[in-house]
Chains A and B, each alone.
Chain A
C-alpha cells in the first residue's frame, strides 16, 4: 500500500545559481557587519574604564544593544528564521522571550530584596 503520510518538505529547500549568488552576497554583508560590531565592542571594552559614572552606564547599555543586534543577525539571517513562516517564527521567539523576561524579572526582584536586606541589617 502506498503511504500518504510521508511528505518531504525539504525538497522545497532548493534554489538556483543566481539566487545562490545573491544569497552569498547577503552572507558576506552580514559577516562584515558582525565583524565590525565585534571590533567596536572590543575597542570600547579595552578603552572605556569601568566605574560609577555615566560614561560606563551608557557603555553597558550600548554593549547590550550591540549584542542583541548581533544575535538578531545570527538568528534571522544565518539560522534563516527570518525566511521561515511567520507562525513558526512566533512559536520559537514568543515562548523564549516570555521565559527569559520572567527570569530577568526574578533576578531583579531577588537582587533588590537581597540588597535591601544587606544594607538594612546590622553587620
Chain B
C-alpha cells in the first residue's frame, strides 16, 4: 500500500542516492528500527520468563487456574477475562488500520472517527489491566496454604461468609460481649474480611478466636467453606507435587493452618516478596512483563491523542498526507503484537 512497489526502478537509480531505496520515509524506517529493538526487549523478557518457569516445573501456576475471575461475576471463568482484553486490543488495532486506510484517501472525518475508536479501545485495555492487577494483588478469599507436613497448596472452593466477631476480651475499641458485624458502626463486609485475612496471615487466629489490632479478642462466626480442594504446588514430604486433596480432609488441613496461630502459613494476594499463586518470581514476572506492556499501551494512547489533535487541527491534511497516523499506527499494532505473545506465553502455556 505504502511505497511504490509497483513502479519499475533500475537499481542504479534506486541505490544511487537522492531517493530511498526502501521507498519509505526516514520517520517510518526509524519507527521500524525502534520496533525491532523493542521487540527484542520483550523477546528477552519472555525468554527469561521461560527459563525461570522451567526451573520450577510443576510448582509454577497454571494460567486457567490463576486467571478465572470476571468483574462482578466471581470465579469459574477460566481465561475469559484475558480473552476479552485480547479481543479489545485486536479490535483497537483494527480501528487503527482503518484510520490509516482513511488517511490514504485523505478522508479527514474517517481518520478522526477511527482514531477516537482506537483511543477508546486503548483506555478500555489499560482499565482492564488495572482491574486485573488489583485482583492479582488482593488475591482470593482463601489464599495459599502451608499444610501440616510443610506442603504448599493453592486453595479452591467457595468461601463461607463471615457473619460476626463476638468480642470476648475487651480491647481499646471494643467492649466484651459486643458483636462486630457488617452494617453497624460503619463496618462493611469487605472490612471484616480484610481484618480476618490480616489476622490469619499474621497468625492472630487461634482456635477460632481472632486477636484484633486493638488487642480485643473475639470468637469468629462464619459459614462453612464448601467444595474445598487443595492443589499441592510444593511438596513437604507427604504429598506429591500436583496432587489434589479434596473433601473433609482438605477442609480440615486448611482450617488447621488458619487456626494454628503461626504467621505466614496462609499467604493472600501478591506483592514482590510473595504471592498466593506460586513462586516469588512468578509475581515479579507478572508485574514486570504485563506492567511494561501496559506502559507501552498507555504511551500509545497518549501518542494517539496527540496525533488525533493534529488531525483535528488539519495539520496533516494541509501537509497533503497522513503519514503521522501511519507511524503511530505502526507503534499501536506493535503493542497488539506484543500482547499476542504475552497472552500465549504468560496465560496459555
Contacts and interface: CB of A to CB of B under 8 A. Distances in A.
A77 B330 CA distance: 11
Contacts of A71: 337, 340-341
A78 B93 contact: yes
B348 to A, nearest CB: 5
Contacts of A115: 54
Given A12-B2, A17-B105, A42 B83 contact: yes
B37 to A, nearest CB: 9
B112 interface: no
Main secondary structure of the interface of A (DSSP, over half): helix
B90 interface: yes
Interface string A39-62: 101101110001100000000100
Which size bracket describes the interface of A in this complex?
35 or more
Interface string B65-89: 0000000000000111011001100
A11 B101 CA distance: 14
B98 A27 contact: yes
A16 B106 CA distance: 10
B90 A34 contact: yes
Contact of B336 (A8, A74, A106): A74
A13 B5 CA distance: 11
Given A12-B3, A35-B90, A78 B321 contact: no
B221 interface: no
B121 to A, nearest CB: 13
Interface in A1-41: 4-5, 7-17, 20, 23-24, 27-28, 30-31, 34-35, 38-39, 41
13 contacts: A10-B323, A12-B2, A42-B80, A71-B337, A80-B1, A84-B2, A84-B3, A84-B22, A85-B3, A87-B22, A88-B24, A96-B39, A110-B51
Given A10-B323, A85-B23, A111-B54, 12 more contacts: A4-B18, A13-B2, A14-B321, A34-B90, A63-B344, A66-B344, A67-B341, A70-B340, A71-B341, A80-B100, A85-B5, A95-B36
